[in-house]
Structures are given as structure tokens and as C-alpha cells.
Amino acid sequence: MTILRVEGISKSYSGALVLDDLSFELEAGEIIAMIGPNGAGKTTCFNILDGQLRADRGQVFFADTRISSMETHEILRLGVGRTFQIAATFHSFTVAENVQIALLANRGLLWNLHSAARDLCRDEAQRMLERLGMLAQAAQSCSALSYGDLKRVELAIALAGHPRLLLMDEPTAGMAPRERLELMALVARLARERELSVLFTEHDMDIVFAHADRILLLEQGRLICQGAPAEVRADPRARRAYLGHDLGAP
Amino acid sequence: MSSIVLQFLNGLTSASTLFLVAAGLSLIFGITRVLNFAHGSLYMLGIYLAYSAIGVFAGGGGVTHAAFWGGILIAATVVGIVGALLEVTVLRRVYRSPELFQLLATFAVVLLAKDLVLWLWGPEDLLGPRAPGLGGAVEILGSPFPEYDLFLIAVGPLILGLLWLLLHATRWGLLIRAATQDREMAAALGINQKLLFTSAFALGAFLAGLGGALQIPREPAQHFLDFTVIVDAFVVVVVGGMGSIPGAFLAALLIGEVKALCIGIGDVGAFGFSISLPKLTLVVESLVMAAVLIFRPWGLMGRALAVLPDPAGARQALLEKSTPRMRMAGIAIIAGLAVTPAFANEYSLVLIIDILIFALFASSLHFLMGPSGMASFGHAAYFGLGAYGAALAFKHAGFPMEISIVIGPVIATIAALAFGWFCVRLSGVYLAMLTLAFAQIAWSVVYQWDSLTGGSNGIVGVWPAPWLSGRVAYFYLVLVLCGAAIGVLRRIVFSPFGYALRACRDSPLRAAAIGIDVRRFQWMAFLVAGGFAGLAGALFAFSKGSISPEVLAIGQSVDGLVMVLLGGVQTLSGPLVGAAVLTWLQELVARHIDYWRALLGLIIIVLVVAFPAGIVGQLSSRRRTAE
Amino acid sequence: MKCLNAVVRGMIALVLLIAGVPAGAQGSIKLGELNSYKVFPAFLEPYKKGMQLALEETNAAGGVFGRNLEIVFRDDNGNPGDAVRVAEELLTRERVHFLLGTFASNVGLAVADLARQRKVLFIAAEPLTDKITWQNGNRYTFRLRPSTWMQTSMLVPDAVKLKKKRWAIVYPNYEYGQSATAAFKDLLKKSQPDVQFVTEQATPLGKIDSGAVVQALIDAKPDAIFSSLFGPDLSRFVRDGNTRGLFKNVAVFNLLAGEPEYLDALKDEAPTGWYVTGYPWYAINTPEHKKFLAAYQKRWKDYPRAGSVVGYATVLSAVAVMKKAGSLDSEKLVAAMQGLQVDSPFGRITYRALDHQATMGAYVGRTGVKDGKGVMASFVYGDGAKFQPSDAEVRKLRPAD
């Protein structure tokens, strides 16, 4: 089943074309990496997918629902989770409360004006944190966490909505090398368990080639090649685009 | 035809005047992010100083060129120095305080300046001399037009040009622009921020002083100038786009011209209705501001403001989950209040009624400012409409008092829904200023709709039902309703809805990404805050027996802001403490000292410097450090 | 930080000390006076001086009922909400016997209604609004100063005499300006049905855009102008009007402009030949005024303003009513106020039983410049008793007690 279908989206900022007729598909349970040099249009693409930006042309479908004219919160309620380049969490809450809020949002329980929020969805949040190895920090304030932990909290928040599709913009940026591998391994494991599709961008090619089922290579807003890691690695266009970058030994 | 041209020139004159004050304000905001509420006071100081300086230089003889222009320059320079001193002695200490806290410090300066001017120059209006050589008029299209006004028309663009040169052709200007765009970056480049801030403040103050001094031939120096000028200046800065000086010029032009045309066109008849456009001048600034902000959320030439990194600890969690000790203290206070009538004199009850009502008002504002992260400069709108709603239901519709007190908040809620719908599309200071615009529009409607609202005189005879009319009975009513309302507000903050609001404040991006409809939640926050403010207003109306448009005027909104900031934005009990301290202090000081505003200002400055996170904010962070 | 803490503590201690001082000497009769001293200081500082003068004279002459008279002054912050609280404080904490004062109309009305609710006498000194004695009049409230309607009607006879056809009107956009305008138009139309009002400029109080307003008036080509501007608005209007030649060959009527509070600010630019109401303290030759003037100048080394007379007469009224009632009981005081006669610096005035308005008048005349200062060059005293609607009309306007 196709979970995400992108049909010819284009976007330009004050005359400069940032995305040029981009199309691709994502199957259920598939993990896809979107790579390309800085300025290739990856973040713009993500922001169009989650509704923060409107494409000038083209359409996006999530499980056959056309989402390209929907608001961010509507799209994310359909079963899309997202993490950001710079981790975005609710800094005035504890780690557990961050996850609780996401759980409450997912269940439509936020319009409750009288219950004490910190008693709701507590156990579930704890379980989620346990999965991510964050249980020890559950009662800590988010503003006191290391950046790596913050990224985990963000992942926990994104997963709390039981998404079918997870959009991760540079999930490991700013983390220590060991942390990176652990985090992506965790994501991959969760994806397999939950039939979760993942679309992520990444600069670390070790991670890309270790976890991606398929790779999309963007350059100057255009999709210049896509395919299984081995195919992309062999593609001369990819080598050209990543001139000076190490695509790893074949 | 000639009349339109002349009115256009009149518009240009007032635009120049507006621009001069606004330019300084915009400059200061751009660099220090301080909303300088005392900017109008600096303008007022400029005109008074110019009056005296010219008088001294002229020495009883005729006003020479040297005396006039020298006097103006001296006045502006002195105001610049005052600005620098202000920055060094007060504002520098609170840059790292939570957002808007600096507003409190500058508000205290307003109070001080008002009494200082009264003390130094006396109560009477002082009309200065005409400008030598520019005192007459020239014929333009057959009508005499003041020469000095032509001069002012030229001064506006001239100052704009000079500022542009200063910002674009000097090293200082480069640093200023760098700091305006990215304060952290500028700091990282090793720029001496302290010096930069002080010099920017001095220049801004100089411009305000110059703007005032240049008005000497056109208007008398008088005590209201600070307030009339500051609101106009804020409007110009916001309409232009905060920090954009060309924007401020454009905005001043727009407002000056719209005003002149309203006056020039006079009454307009259409569809059998007659509209008096001159009457619109009462709110023309607010109408222009609302119109511009609805279509251009960052003003005419503004850009989205870079979000400032949170000052250390400024935005800690609202983690005042009641500890057993706090709960005991709360119960003790309520119990203490409940038995007050048994031993206190009747006046204490009157004062406590005021404090309780303002505590609810401040709490409702805090609900918007704190957990929801939306500052409102026009919160009096809901307080006032609640009061008017209740009073009108009681006096005109003939409902009993018990029902009227419910109708008030309903009206306020409806207004909050209408205003909030537009406001949540904006953010930061722009949002705050749009709330002010709506409040001013509401105020002007109440002020002018004589047949319904009693116009500027208001409505009298709004007394409680007989069983509640005694001071003790009414005291209990207020205690129960305000206590319950504050309790409910507190509960909402800790409910999922309150969590969602805080989530939207912490990170709108993240909130949307977990499926929260950020605007809708913020809109509902307006509803809650407006409703509770309306309840406070309704209780206020019946406690006073009468109301007039003051209840929804700027002064009321400012009082609310001062209470919230004084107590501390990050705490839930802050607004309660702020309301109690401000009301009590004002009552006490005003009773005993003639120059009570100056003393109140001084006390607030001391509090601001001693408690840079608000009274409760500071105490609780100290307690945390101690633990 | 430590030093600051000490400052805070010191300040709190000081405040507590002040709060602890018991107010008032024993045995004196206390009256409560509330006013917007800090909001309208130009008018109210002379007013307070007038009050203090009358108070000192009263006590020098043995006080009231052989007791010292004491007035407790309070600032109402120009805000009805604060004013009501201050009035409550005066009544309950200071235990004053009745209330005096107020300046702004909305504050006056609010305190008047409180007086009705609490059943205490209130002598409204300054507020001009007609409503305080008519639509919102009540049993406990009496007003001293001539109302908007009275002062407007004092100008009407001269306006009628001129037989000007095209009138332009400019007024501050709030109740006083609106009422003055409505009354003037109404009264003028009655005597001169073919009169035309060619433009009406309502300007925001304290924020007149004088250039544009003057230009709009010039463009309307009026024969005469009726204005109720005062204070800074008046100064700007006059200066811009002079520069642009608005007043050439146009008759101008301006309420209140002859009061020294407003005329003096204009200095040598004061307009000449305007019809105004006001207070020519320098030229009033009645014995009662001369006596007041001498006493005031001796006490304060300053000349009196209109406010001084109002303050002085307010205290005289308060003394007179206590003496007439022979009691401090509210109901007896209220009864004594009806028809009370007081000898004011403007001569004998009466508090009308009909609508509780005092018959204190104002001086009506034309402005001129003398020794570089604006003056009322010629004037007559407009007796407040004569400038009133018919009794039947007043009864219709005023609710029964």
C-alpha cells in the first residue's frame, strides 16, 4: 500500500526555484532517506509535506487523502509524525509531560478544562519513555536536558500519536556519533515493529546506507536519482552531486 | 480643490511631528527590544525644556534665532542625556528580565516624570513663542499656510535622511543594524553591547526631545502630552513595522493624511445616514492600525522578528504546583478574608473588594500573558465591556442585578471571541498592539454612543440588589465569586487545555506537529480570559454604583499590565500579589503625599530593580536556589 | 542587593509609619473633599487655595458650632472608580459629615450617585454637566458652578443680536462639548430659525489637530463660530487660527475662554473681540469681590483664578448649610440646602430647591489684550438665576426625588 504519494510539487521563493517538479512515493513500512547537498530543497519538501508551506504546483496524498491544501495540525492528526532539524519540545514541561501532551492531543482530550493533566496518560507516557531509554529522565524539565536527550524526547512526542508516517528532518544532527547510531537503530526497530513508514533527511551517509530501504537524491530542487542504496551508490549522478563527499565504499 | 491640497499639507505637518517621536521609539525598540513607555514623557520633557531654555536665552527681550534654535537644541540634548542616564541606572538592570518587564520600569518613569514636570514648571499650560522668521504665513492657492508648518514638513524627511546616513554610512550605524537584526551575533562579534545600547537609547531620547521641542511654536507645554503622544508613537511604530524607521515614516504619513482628510471632508451622507468623519479622529489611529495589522501582520515595512533567546531562567516552568505549605497558606488567606468583616472597619472591606476585583482582572490577563504567551495591551476592553454589559442589562433592559452580573461576562466573552479571532493571527508586540487597537475602538464606541452608554459621562445607579447592597454582603459576594473564578483559572492552567496553551506558547511548531490547532486554542484562551475579565468588570460596576468609559480606557489596561508584571509573569500567584500591592500602595501613598505619583514611581523602580522577575517570581526562584 | 533590601525595608517601614498616624484632631467637624488634583492641576491648585482661604477665615471666626472645621483632601485620580473608593474612605474611615468637590463630569456623577445611595450630602463644586442636576439629579446632590447650559445660554443673546447666518461649530468631543453645542444650536434656532450650521468639528479632547480643523472652518466660509474648546486645545486653535487668518471678519463665541486659567496661557496672542464667559478678576468692582480679592492676594501672593472662587464659595456654602441646618444630620442638611443663600465673591447666590443648582453666575463679555495679556475688556455679570430653562421644563428633565 502506498502511504505517501508526492506528485510534481514545485516551490519557488522570490523567483528562485527551490523545488522543481518533485515526485516520489513511499510504501507502508518503508524507510526512505532523502539526501542531497545543503540547499537542495529537503527541508522545504518536508515543510510542504506537513503543511507549513504551500506548494506552488503539484499535489500530495497521504494514504489516498489529498493533504496538499490542509493545515499542519490536520495533516498530523491523520497519522503523520514529525521531528525537526532543531529539536522542538515544550521546554516548560517535564519530559513525561511532553509525551503526555502528545498522547492527549492524539486522543482529542485537550479540550478538557477541569482534570489535572499530569495524571492523564501517565503510564502510557512512561512506557513510551522506557522504550526510548528515557525513563530515568521522565521527571526532569526539558530545559535541563542534553541535546541528544532532547532529540529522543522529540521522537517520543512524535511517536506518541501512533503515526503511520514519520518525517524526520536530520534526526541525528548535533548528536555524538555513538548516540546517532543508537537513535537510528531504535527508529528502524520501531518502524519494523509498528509498520511505520519513515522519511528522513541525513548528512551522515553511514546512517543512510545502514537503515534506508531506498534513497532519494535531490539536487537544486530536482530529484536526480532514486533507488536502493546499492543502486544510488553506483549511480554516477549521485557521485557527481556528492563530489567531495564520501558515499562509502561499494 | 485648494482645500484638499491644503489639508494634504496639514497631513504632512502632523506626519512629520508623529515621525519624529516614533523614529526614536522604533530605534530603541529595534536594538534593545524595550518598549519604552516613557518615550512620551521624554517628548514632554523636551517641550518644557525648550520653553525654559528659549526663555533664558531670550532673557526677556525678543526671541532671536540664536535663542530659539539654541534653546531647541539644548532641550533635545538634555533629553538625550536623560535618556542615557535612564538606560544606565534603570533599564540596564532589567534587560535579562522576562519579556515586557522593562515596560514596568518605563511606566514608573512616566509616573516620576509627570510629577517632576508639575513640580518644576507648575500646573499651567505654557505656550511658547513663535519661531523667529517663521511666525507668519505664506499664501498657498489663495489660503494662508503657516511658514513653520512648511518648515516641519521639511524636517521629517530631513531627519529620515540623516538617520539613514547615520545607519548606513557610519560604523556605529553598521553595529546598530547588526544588533537590530541579531543581538547574539553582534555580541559574538565582540561589540560592546553596553555602549551600543546606551548610545541608541540616548539617540532615541534625543529624537523624542527634539520632536517635543520643535512643537514649541505649535502647542503649549502641558501635562497630558506624555500620554497622548506615547500611544500615537506606539501606533506609528507598529503600523510601520517595529524597528523599521522608513516604515515609521510611511505610517506617520498614512495616519497624518487620513486624519487631515477626515477633518477636511467633514460630514458625509450616504444611504440616508450621515457620518461625521471629524468625530472619527478620536480613534483614527486605532482604526488604521487594526486595518494594517489585519492585512500585514508585521506592519507596513516590518519583518518577522527574530525570536530572542530566552534570558536565563526567564521562562521557567509554571511549576507552582501547590505544595502542602502553599495550600495551607492559601486556605489561611481565604479564611482570614472571610472573617475580616468581624473586626475590620468598613473601609477595609471597600479596599479589599477593589483588590479582589483587580486580582481577578489581573489573573485573567495573566492567563493570556503567562500560560498562553500572548501579551494584551487592551485587556480593559473585556473588563469594561463586562461592566457595561452588566450595567446596561440592569439599567436599560431591566434585568435584576443577579442576572446582569452574568450578562456582563457574556458580552465580554463575545467581544473576546470577535477580537481574539483577528489577534491570534499575529504574535508578540503586534498581537499586543492589535488588542490595544480593538480596545480603543470599543472605548470610542462606548464614549460616543451617548443614547445607549451615556457617552463620556457613563451610567449611574448601578447598585446591587437590596440583599447584597450592604458593604459586608457585597464583600462576601465578591470574595466568593472572585475566589472561585481565580480558583477555576488556576485549575484550567493545570488542565489538559492549559497544558495545550502552554505547549502552543513553548513551541507553536511542535504543537502543530502533534495535531494541535494552535490558533483555535489561542482563540479559546481569549474567550476564557475575556470572560473572567468581564466578570471582574461586572462586579466592579456594582461595587461602584456607576461606570464611565474609563473602565475600558488605556489606563485600565496599563494597570492590569503593571499588576501582572509587578507580581511576576511566570507565577500563578504573581498577579494576585501584584494587584494587592499596586492597589494598596496607590491608595496609601495617594492619601498621604501630594506628589504621590512620583513616590509610587520610585517605589516601583525599587521593586523592579530588587525583583527583576517580579515579586513572586523572584521570591520563588530564590527559594528554589535555596533548596 | 543587600543595600537594596535595606531600602525596601526602610520604605515599607516609612509607609507603615505614615499609615499608623491617626488622622484628624479631636472635636473638629470633618468634611471630605475629593478632586482630581493631579489630573487637572491648572484648575484645581487655585481651587484648593480658595478652599483653604475660606477654611482659615471660618476657623478664625470661631469655626462652626464653636468647633474647628476640618477638610480632608483626597485625590480621586480623575477616575470615577477611584473617586467612589476615595469617597467611601472619607465616609467610613475619616467619618466626614458630607462630601465636597469633583471636577470631571463623570466623576461628579459617580460621586453624586454614591451620595444618593449612602444618603449623604454632596456639594458638587466644579462639574459642568447638566445631568448632575437634571436627568441624574438626586435628593442629596447640589451643584455650585454654573452648568454648561447656563453658560451657553449666557452667550446666546449676543449671538442672536449679530444676526449671522452661517455658523461653524467646534467642540471637544465629549459630553461637555456635545451638550454645549446642542444647547447653543437649540437656543439659537429658536430665536433665529433661518440660521445655518455650515460645519461641525468634534475634536478629540486634548488632541486637536488644529491646522486641519482651522482649515476646515475656513473652507466652510462661516460668518460666525461657536466654540467650546478650552485649555491646550484652545491655545492651539487660537494660534493656528491667527496665523491662517480664520478670525478675520468672523465673530467668535467661546465658552469659558475668559477664565484666567485658559486666557492667560495665550499671553499677547489672546484674541480680541471674542464673546466669552469667564472671570475678569482684575476689573470686578463689587465690594464682595474686592474683599475676596484682597484676602486671596494677601494669603497666596497670587491672583485668583475661576477655580479659586469656586473653591472659596464651596466652603462658604458648606459652612452656611451647617449653620442653617443647625445640625450635621444628613437629612437636615439636605433640607437646609434647598433655597440656601450664600454670600459669594460674585454676590448672593441661592441653591434652587427646584433642581439643586446654585444661581452663581459667570461674567460674559468680549476679550481684548492689555499690557501683553489677554483680558475681558468689557463684560457684564450673567446672573445664574436668569439663565435657566422654565421651571416646567426643568421638572420634566429631573426625576422626582
Q: What confidence score (pLDDT) does residue A234 get?
A: 82
Chains touching chain C at 3 or more Cβ pairs under 8 angstroms? Answer: B
- If one counts every other C-beta atom within 10 angstroms of the C-beta of residue A29, the result is 16
**Quick one: how far is CA C186 from the chain centroid?**
23
**Are B389 and B541 contacting, i.e. CB atoms less than 8 angstroms apart?**
no
Where residue C202 sits, what CATH number does that domain have? Answer: 3.40.50.2300
Q: Do the Cβ atoms of B460 and C113 come within 8 Å? A: yes
In eight-state DSSP terms, residue A135 is: G
| Residue C398 within a domain | no
Is C201 an interface residue toward B (CB < 8 Å)? yes
SS (H, E, C) C61-87: CCCECCECEEEEEEECCCCHHHHHHHH
Residues of C in contact with B219 (CB under 8 A): 210, 232, 235-236
Angle at B549 between CA B547 and CA B554, to 5 degrees: 125
- The verdict on residue C15 lying in a domain is no
Rounded (5°) CA angle B255-B260-B264: 150
CA-nearest residue to B540 within chain C is C81
CB contact under 8 A, C173 and B279: yes
- CA Rg value for chain A: 18
Q: Within this chain, do residues C186 and C291 fall inside the same structural domain, yes or no? A: no
Is residue C78 a part of any domain in this protein? yes
CA C235 to chain centre: 19
Contact B226, B44 (CB under 8 A): yes
pLDDT at residue C4 tops 70? no
Both C63 and C203 in one domain: the answer is no
Give the residues across from C143 on adjacent strands: C124, C357
Task: Provide the residue count of chain B.
Answer: 627
Say how many domains are in chain C: 2
Of A116, A117, A161, the CB nearest to B515: A161
Which pLDDT score, from 0 to 100, does residue B202 have? 95
Spell B179-198 as b/e; 16+ CB within 10 A means b: bbeebeebeeeebebeebbb
Residue C200 lies in a domain: yes
- The nearest CA of chain A is from the CA of B369 a distance in Å of 15
Same-domain status, C294 and C276: no
Please check whether residues C252 and C378 belong to one and the same domain: yes
Q: Which of C106, C104, C144 is closest to C122 using CA atoms?
A: C144
Q: At A247, which amino acid appears?
A: L
Partner residue facing C81 (CB), from B224, B544, B592: B544
The four Cα atoms B25, B29, B34, B36 give a dihedral, to 10 degrees, of: 10
Tell me: do C271 and C346 sit in the same domain.
no
Q: Do B6 and C89 touch (CB under 8 A)?
A: no
CB contact under 8 A, B263 and C131: no
Nearest CA in chain B to A98: B503
Same domain, C226 and C273: yes
Measured distance CA(C188)–CA(C58) in Å, rounded? 44
- Residues C347-392 have pLDDT tens digits of 999 999 999 999 999 999 999 999 889 999 999 999 999 999 999 9
User: Are C96 and C34 found together in one domain?
Assistant: yes
Determine contact: A71 vs chain B, CB below 8 A. Answer: yes
Q: pLDDT value at position A141?
A: 86
| Inter-chain CB proximity A90 and B495 less than 8 Å | no
Q: Which three cell numbers stand for residue B452?
A: 445607549
Phi then psi for residue A157, to 5 deg, are: -60, -45
The C-alpha angle A177, A48, A59, rounded to 5 degrees, equals 130
Grid cell 479571532 is found at: B421
Chain A hits for B312, Cβ within 8 Å: none
What pLDDT was estimated at residue B618?
76
**Chain C residues within 8 A of B115 when measuring between CB atoms:** 38
The average pLDDT across C240-263 equals 93
Reply yes or no on whether the pLDDT at C13 is more than 50.
no
Written as one string, the DSSP assignment of C208-276 is: --HHHHHHHHHHT--SEEEE---HHHHHHHHHHHHHHTTTTT-EEEEEEEESHHHHGGGGGG--SS-EE
- Contact residues, chain A, for B503 at CB < 8 Å: 90, 93, 101
H or E stretch at A58: strand A57-62
Residues C269 and C375 in one domain: yes
Helix (H, G, I), strand (E, B) or coil at B417: helix
B506 and A92: CB-CB below 8 Å?
yes
| Angle A226-A232-A235 from CA coordinates, rounded to 5° | 105
* Touch C-A: 3+ C-beta pairs under 8 A: no
Q: Are residues C143 and C66 in the same domain?
A: yes
Q: What is the 3-state secondary structure (H, E, C) of B325-350?
A: HHHHHHHHHHHHHHHHHHHCCHHHHH
pTM for this model (two decimals) = 0.91
Q: Give me the long-range contacts of C297-304 (CB less than 8 A, separation at least 24).
A: C299/C49, C299/C52, C299/C53, C299/C56, C300/C49, C300/C53, C302/C46, C302/C49, C303/C260, C304/C46, C304/C49, C304/C50, C304/C260, C304/C279
Does C137 or B322 have the greater pLDDT score? C137
Q: Using H for helix, E for strand and C for coil, what is the string for B486-533?
A: HHHHHHHHCCHHHHHHHHHHHCHHHHHHCCCCHHHHHHHHHHHHHHHH
C163: left (phi over 0), alpha (psi -120 to 50) or beta: left
Statement to judge: residues C257 and C300 lie in one domain: no
Angstrom distance (rounded) from CA B389 to CA B404:
8
Task: Answer whether residue C11 shows pLDDT above 60.
Answer: no
Q: What is the pLDDT of residue B626?
A: 62
The backbone torsions φ and ψ at residue B35, rounded to the nearest 5 degrees and listed phi first, read -85, 100
Establish if C7 belongs to a structural domain: no
- One digit per residue, pLDDT tens: chain A, 250 residues? 888 999 999 998 878 888 889 999 998 888 999 988 888 888 899 999 988 889 899 999 998 889 988 998 898 888 899 998 888 899 889 999 999 999 999 888 889 888 888 889 999 999 989 988 888 988 888 888 888 888 889 999 998 888 999 999 888 888 888 888 888 888 888 888 888 999 999 888 888 888 889 999 888 888 888 888 888 888 887 777 665 555 554 4
Q: What is the pLDDT of residue B1?
A: 64
- B113-149 burial code (b ≥16 CB/10 A, e <16): bbbbbbeebebbbbbbbbbbebbebeeeeebbbbbbb
Cell triple for residue B38? Answer: 516613557
What is d(CA B211, CA C130) in angstroms, rounded to the nearest whole number? Answer: 39
Query: Above 70 in pLDDT, residue C8?
Result: no
User: Considering just the CA atoms, what is the radius of gyration of chain C in Å?
Assistant: 22
Residue C401 lies in a domain: no
- C265 interface with B at CB cutoff 8 Å: yes
Question: B145 — phi, psi (to 5°)?
Answer: -130, 130
- Above 90 in pLDDT, residue C227? yes
- Domains defined along chain B, listed by start: 2-295 (1.10.3470), 324-553 (no CATH)
Whether C120 maps to a domain, the answer reads: yes
The three cell numbers of residue A126 are 512512561
Residues C318 and C214 in one domain: no
Return the exposure string of B26-64: e unless at least 16 CB atoms fall within 10 Å of the residue's CB, then b.
Answer: bbbbbbbbbbbbbbbbbbbbbbbbbbbbbbebbeeeebe
For C154-211, write each residue's pLDDT tens digit.
Answer: 999 999 999 999 999 999 998 899 999 999 999 999 999 999 999 999 999 888 999 9
Q: Is residue C263 part of a domain?
A: yes
Select from B614, B134, B536, B111 the least CA-distant residue to B358. Answer: B536
Q: What pLDDT score does C45 carry?
A: 93
**C299 shares its domain with C353:** yes
Residues 6+ apart with CB under 8 A from B270: none
Residue C206 is part of which domain span?
149-283+363-382
Q: Model confidence at C149, in pLDDT bands (50, 70, 90)?
A: very high
User: Would you say C310 and C147 are in contact if contact means Cβ atoms under 8 Å apart?
Assistant: no
Averaged pLDDT for residues C9-19: 47
What is d(CA C232, CA C186) in angstroms, rounded to the nearest whole number?
Answer: 27
Whether C108 shows a pLDDT value over 80: the answer reads yes
Contact A104 B515 (CB under 8 A): no
Strands A31-35 and A57-62: unpaired
Q: How big, in percent rounded to 5, are the helix, strand and coil portions of chain A?
A: 40, 25, 35
Say if CB C36 and CB C76 are below 8 A apart.
yes
Tell if the CB–CB gap between B513 and A81 is shorter than 8 Å: yes
Which segments of chain B have a pLDDT < 70? 1, 99, 183-186, 188-190, 270, 272, 304-322, 623-627
